[in-house]
Amino acid sequence: MPCNSRFWALEEICVGVKDIERAKAWYIDKLGLYMRANSNRAVYLTSSYRGEVSLELFPLSAKVSGNHPCTHPVLFARELDAMHSAFRASGVTVGTIQSDARGNRFFLFRDLDGNTLEMCADTR
């Protein structure tokens, strides 16, 4: 089965910010984005209420650890382990499967230009 058949959704683009409240106000005021969700660790903004790709604004200190990038697309896969194996078998540079503090499973991978992307397990 090709890799893309396991790909579920482009969910969000993570953007590290210095001051989450000021950044939220700027994105809403200057870009006209809407608040999709607000958690104790991040703010999710979108261009409409239709559930499109969101910007996840998070404090820089929240995700900057090791080689986790500050700004990158986040994609979701129904079968994370299978996607990881398929990527690796096809020559994609992939990191190990990890779990964050909330139990979300993910791995980082790079495109042909070295840009970092994140693939998360879809738990919906």
CATH assignment of the domain containing 89? 3.10.180.10
pLDDT tens digits for range 15-53: 888 888 988 988 888 778 888 888 878 898 888 766 678
Q: What are the helix (H) ranges across 10-123?
A: 20-31, 60-63, 80-89
Task: Tell me how many domains the chain contains.
Answer: 1
Rounded to two decimals, the pTM is 0.67
Contacts 24+ apart (CB under 8 A), 50-54: 53/10, 53/11, 53/12, 53/13, 54/11, 54/12, 54/13
pLDDT tens digits for range 67-104: 555 678 888 888 999 989 988 998 999 999 999 888 88
- The owner of tokens 């590290």 is 16
Q: CA 79 to CA 6: how far, in whole Å?
A: 6
**Helix (H), strand (E) at residue 45:** strand 43-46
Q: Taking a C-beta distance cutoff of 8 angstroms, is the pair 46, 54 a contact? A: yes
Backbone dihedral angles phi then psi of residue 15, each to the nearest 5 degrees:
-130, 115
Q: CA 42 to CA 34: how far, in whole Å?
A: 14
The larger pLDDT score, comparing residue 9 to residue 67, is at: 9
Domain limits for position 69: 3-121
Query: What pLDDT was estimated at residue 84?
Result: 94
Query: What pLDDT was estimated at residue 27?
Result: 83
